[in-house]
Amino acid sequence: MTTYKGIQGFTIQNLSADPSNFEEGQVWYNSTSNVWKVGELTTAGSWATGGTMNTARRLLGSATSGTQTAALAFGGGWPTPVIQNVTEEYNGSSWANSNNLNTGRTFTAGAGTQTAGLAFGGISGPSPVNPETTATEKYDGTSWTNNPTGLNVGRHSLTGCGTQTAALAAVGNPGALNIAEEFNGSTWTAAPTLSIGRNYSTSAGIQTSALVIGGESATATTNATEEYDGSTWTAGGNLNTTRFSLASAGIQTAALAFAGNTPPPAYSAATELYDGTSWTNSPASLSTARDSLGGAGTQSAGIAFGGNTAPGQTGATEQFTGAGAAVTKTITVS
C-alpha cells in the first residue's frame, strides 16, 4: 500500500498547534482541533473575521503603525453627546479594554503603535460649545498622557500616520483643508500644504514617506492620492474606487486601502493595493461593507475594525492576508 512517507520521504507530524513557519504543501494533524491541515500560499489575498470590539463605534482613531496582532483603537462615536474616550488593544484574536483617553473625541486621528501611540485632533463635544480640538495625547501601552502642546490648527476628520515621535497630521475640517503638520515628539510644526484640500481621507507610511488617499474635496469625493517625502507633496496614482471615510495600512510603496463610502453614497467593501505608482483592485472584499473605520498593519497583513454600516455602528474586525502569504487550510481525510 502506498503511504505518505513512501511518497514524501517523511511522516505526517502530530502537532498541538499549527506551525508558525511551514512549507507550501506541508501536511500535519492538529491534535487540539482534531483536524488535518495543509499549508499553502494565497494567490489573491483574503479577509477573515477577527475578534469583535467591546465597544462598537465609528469615527474612531487608531495607531496607524500598529500591526495585525498588536492594534490600538481609541475614541469615536457619533452623534454627540455619545463621544467615546474608550481605548482597546487587539492581540490578533480579541480586544481588551485599556485606560481611557483624557479627552474623549470623535472624528479623530492617530499614529504610532500599541505601546507608543498618539491621538490628535477631532471633536471633543457638542459643537459649537466644544468644537474642533487641538489636544494631543501619548499612549505608553497602559495609559494616556496629555502633551503640553497640541495641533496648531484644531480640526476634525483629519488623517495621520507615522510614529509617536515623528508623526504627520494632514487635511481635515472645517472646510476641506490642505494643511499638514509634523510632530517631533513634543511639538507640532506646520508642514508644506497638499495640492488638494480635503477631509475624510486616510493615510499610510511615515512622516518622511507618506500617502494621503481619497476623501472629500470642496466640490466632490476624490480618488486622488498624494505622496509626501518630508518636504514636498506630489501626485500619486488615483484610486480605482472613488471614496471617502476609508481606511488604510502599509507604507508609501506597499499600501492597502479598504472600505469607505462611495457616491451616491453607499458603503464600500472594496480593497485596493498600491505599489508606489498605481492602485490595483484586489478580488478580496471585506465581509462587512462600512465607512468611518480604523485600520493598521501592512499590505500583506492588514486589519480593519469598527466603523459605520447600514444598521449603525459596528465593532466588527477583519484581518487581511496578502497574496503570497502563508495560510492553513483544513482538509478532509476519508
Predicted pLDDT of residue 60: 98
Beta bridge partners of 49: 318
pLDDT confidence bin for 208, thresholds 50/70/90: very high
For residue 247, what are the β-bridge partners?
258
43 near 330, Cβ under 8 Å? no
Mean pLDDT of 142-154: 98
For 181, phi then psi, to 5°, come to -135, 150
73 pLDDT higher than 60: yes
* Number of residues that make up the chain: 334
Report the SS3 class of residue 5. helix
- What are the cell numbers at 8? 514524501
pTM score = 0.85
Of 127, 66, 64, 133, nearest to 101 by C-alpha is 133
Choose between 177 and 82: higher pLDDT: 177
* pLDDT value, residue 254: 97
- 5-9, 66-70, 156-160, range with the lowest pLDDT: 5-9
Nearest to 293 by CA among 47, 62, 54: 62
Please work out, in degrees rounded to the nearest 5, the angle formed at the alpha carbon of residue 130 by the alpha carbons of 99 and 84: 30
